[in-house]
Chain A
């Protein structure tokens, strides 16, 4: 039973950043297919979306196709903003990771005094408080790793060692990386060893990293 927990954490994390995406897709202004003929546009864009391993990053190209359709039909039209830009994906992942990191910290107390502890021995961890803390921590870490990956992918050209740490993008990258490493090391030390220190350092680094880019 217990080994399903990481999966739950990951799913929570994913749903947290998919939610705004779905919302964005719902708003007619951003949705590329809103005023094209829906069937054609879907037919044109679906295979691309499915076969491409990087479907998120390539969402823009789907939009381009819809734009072309528009042009053929209306004799005009411009490329619309994709329903999710790489920039936005990175932003949601980072903010989500910060938020979940904060909630993880708040739930730390509950993890220790959980009801599940009563019957357990030294190495038994359980109870709702513990589960929540663990799920939040794993989700925060998953989103943090996602934010790091998308940061390098979409904003890699903004960072460079030659301008040093006073460069705002370099600082943002370093703190975001440090924050995620803090999460990772806290998660790998938990639950046996003390990990509040690395978790807190991670959360604070994440906070400053987000503030710089805000």
Chain B
């Protein structure tokens, strides 16, 4: 290619503009990061939103792992958290006083799977049939499919696990909402490689 004088000028001009952009960018980026403007952009959303509610954590985490609201749709939480249902919650009495129940319900409904931008919540919603209202996370098709290869002896017959409902027995970063397969360690067995 033959460069004319004009072409050369254009080229150097473009180069300076590019350099200026890069300089401005490298100044602006740390500021933006510091101000938290990029949190939404760079936040990892490949798990499920972590629980950020002290009351929920305390009341619903006393018997078992405090399941993130993003694992079930609104309609499931409504059924699970009615005062009647809480009296017989999987054979246990998980009754709450009315103001706590309402506060927990509000929190859970606002963060239910259909309102979440996190990947696992979207996968759960896609795996539900129309109108299907699962009362267990472990009954959803997505979670069943993800675990169907794990033999009984590593779950029910494993004294350190006992039930698939005990997510945090195997998912070492469950509390942070990270259920990535590389973070799984089944007690007494170790890393699962399928």
Contact = CB atoms under 8 A, between A and B. Distances in A.
Interface in A74-133: 77-82, 85, 87-88, 109, 112-113, 117
B: interface residue count bin:
20 to 34
Contacts of B156: none
Interface stretch (A44-52, A162-170, A192-200): A162-170
Contact of B191 (A80, A117, A166, A169): A80
Given A79-B190, A163-B127, 16 more contacts: A60-B191, A78-B185, A78-B190, A80-B190, A85-B181, A87-B181, A88-B182, A113-B1, A163-B126, A166-B122, A167-B122, A168-B119, A168-B122, A212-B119, A214-B42, A214-B44
- Top 9 closest A-B pairs, CB basis? A78-B190, A79-B190, A60-B193, A163-B126, A81-B191, A79-B191, A168-B119, A167-B126, A168-B122
B188 interface: yes
Interface in B156-193: 180-182, 185, 188-193
B16 interface: no
Given A117-B1, A163-B126, A67 B190 contact: yes
A82 B191 contact: yes
Contacts of A79: 189-193
B182 A78 contact: no
Contact of A214 (B1, B14, B46, B127): B46
Contacts of B122: 166-168
Given A63-B191, A113-B1, A213-B46, A81 B123 contact: no
B11 interface: yes
B191 A78 contact: yes
B45 A214 contact: yes
Interface of B: 1, 3, 11, 14, 42, 44-46, 119, 122-123, 126-127, 145, 180-182, 185, 188-193
Interface string A199-214: 0000000000000111
Nearest to B120: A168
Most B CB contacts (10 A, CB to CB) among A67, A79, A157, A212 go to A79
A168 to B, nearest CB: 5
A87 B194 CA distance: 11
Contacts of B44: 214
Contacts of A67: 190
